[in-house]
Structure 1
Amino acid sequence: MPTPPSPWASSVPPPSPSSTRAPRSLAWPARSTARAPPCPTSSAARGWPCGSTPTRGGATYLSAGAIPPLLVTAAGASRYLEAASGGPIGVREPRSEAPIELGPGDTLVLCSDGLVEERRASIDLGLERLSGTAARRRTDAAQDLADALLADRTGSSDPGDDIAVLTCRIA
């Protein structure tokens, strides 16, 4: 993948391997316990035009959350972006980042662990359910996809944890 000439969006500082804190607009506190204060978790990305096809682009991402971002391609293939996953920002340095290639119709799904974790069930089942639902509903509008992912999860049992989901469709 080529080196990016400049970010597409400049409202959020781009991630860097040496990131020690989340951009304020992307940080939120994790659930606090009696033993530890809240830690910021975040995913951040920067993008650029990529390759010889003008409709494709690239992004560099880092993830500091429990659940890695999910990429669903326009063709329906899905995979979790685990190359740049890590713990809370500021805990272990340096941070890693990884490139991905994106095209029209691709969808990114970011979520909290409450969307995939269930009592008495393997987290792997929740990850498979999320990936399968996102792939089947990949042509839905981003808001409709988010609603379907929430309905799929909350219809199975009492969540017992916070649930957050963000979907982003690449135009």
Structure 2
Amino acid sequence: MIKKVFSFIRARLRKVILEEIWLEDYISRGMKIGKNCSIQPRCIFDYSHCNLITIGNDVTIAPQAYLLAHDASTKRDLGYTKIGRIDIKDNVFIGARALIMPGVTVGENSIVAAGSVVTKNVRPNTVVAGNPAKEIISKEEYINNNRELLKSYPKFSYDYSNASDKLTEEMKIEMRKLLKDTKGYMV
């Protein structure tokens, strides 16, 4: 139990201290980050061109997402590297390990699915997924679909999270059992 608490505290301190210092370095080099953003651990921003990256307000970027403002595929043959701005508008969610390429704008209220490679602009209020990312559904339809699923799928409180100090072995067993053949939701 002590090991678990220590790991939790260490992870939180690393996020609060190291991540903020890390982001401050990008900001000092010209990257713009809006208010109320949640940028998860191990996200990678193009350090050499971070001044070309703008992140709006209320944006969530999941772990290991990559925002790349340059593309060196032309360097050897042409002697030049392609560069382009990345503009993440307000209220955007970027999933884990998504890759945003140079010259891309992700429109307001959009969702970029985990693992997607975004090479073209994302329209506002849409969900994109894949490699290359393609529009798959409107955000409104996506939220409405999940609202319906929420009525019948298992729901769990924060206490069921490993980040909670209330998670018991019995709760873990219960959660695994309830999620055996379905998905669920956590507050």
Q: TM-score per shorter chain, which class?
A: under 0.3
Higher helix share: 2
Q: Which has the higher contact order (CA 8 A, sep 6+)?
A: 1
Larger Rg, first or second structure (1 or 2): 2
TM-score by length of 2: 0.23
